[in-house]
Amino acid sequence: MQSYHSVGVVGGGSWGTTLAHLLGKNGNRVLLWLRDEESYQDIKNNHRNRKHTYEIALSEKICPTMDLEEVGKSCEIIVIAIPSSNFRQVTYLLGNHVKADQIVISACKGLEPQTHYSMTEIIREETCVKKIGVLSGPNLFQEILKGSPSAGVIASEYQEVIKKAEEIFSSSFYKIYGSNDLVGVELGGVMKNVVAIASGIADGLGFGNNTKALVLTRGISEMVKVGLKLGASPWTFNGLSGLGDMLVTCSSPLSRNYRVGYYLAQGQKLPQILEEMKAVAEGVNTAKVLHEYCRANQIDLPIMEGVYQILYENKPISHVLSELMNRLAHLEMDTNLLQTASSME
């Protein structure tokens, strides 16, 4: 039997609005916090957020608010869907109004530029909340709004967080899976954005399926390298937040990160692409953060380093491609590393 909850969604962009709609359609009372007056009025008066989710009629269970205190004090579960660039600032403000027994779930697939922190680490720093989770998976918001069968994974150290997430999100067209590997699930959702840029570049250059398979499989290998360093299970990256999310974002023109790569290969400049997109492509920032982290920790990520060089060093795509294809051959998979990881689980 469905149990209903009071849920807060922090962030009124396309993803936050979509999550609020999904939660409302499931019968939950949803407080959606926005800073944008235009979107606030549109949802309040017309049950639409045309600035971000077009003409889709939103659930009437959504109550828009511009009062973050109202969300913090009245919602037992709070989902934060803010871009990484503003995540700490908003979470700090929210932290003034929440209690330790509330549940807070990150729905942002990014890393903080200055600290290299994940969003759940920021939640730990800026709030007193202990029961923290992350939502990830192959979730293009346009398809969820249309009711296409989709799934996500919720990861947390607390079983209660997983159980409550299943209750509030699961529906006839959206399924939630659980995971105890918070680090792996969060990292998968973050790193696949950089691989999606590489995939978009490959498609923009007119390459075929062989190239796409190369980018995806080696991209997964690079994700596993970083995941093992940070204590994640390598098997997590074969799931929804790793391979699943990559299959979507590395092939769909609905993916912002894919479009960044595609248009770069078509000769457009990054500032122009981002300006015309008018939305955040988290992979652009993530490429820089990963470059800094991996250089400091001596982790070799050829594909992701190549994306960084294209984005931030203006290195010609043809040069990066040539260097990737001329790297010395080595074993496809470091089985010793995987055996060590397996023995630790």
Based on its alpha-carbon atoms, the radius of gyration of the chain, rounded to whole angstroms, reads 20
State the Cα–Cα distance between residues 182 and 184, nearest whole angstrom. Answer: 6
| CA atoms within 13 Å, Cβ hemisphere of 36 | 16
Catalytic-labelled residue, pool 131, 164, 192, 225 = 192
Q: Could you confirm whether 99 is annotated as catalytic? A: no
Q: Which residue has the tokens 């994974």?
A: 153
CB 78 within 8 A of CB 105: yes
State the Cα–Cα distance between residues 197 and 115, nearest whole angstrom. Answer: 23
Contacts of 220 by beta carbon, 8 Å cutoff, 6+ apart: 237, 238, 242, 243, 246
Residues serving a catalytic function are 192
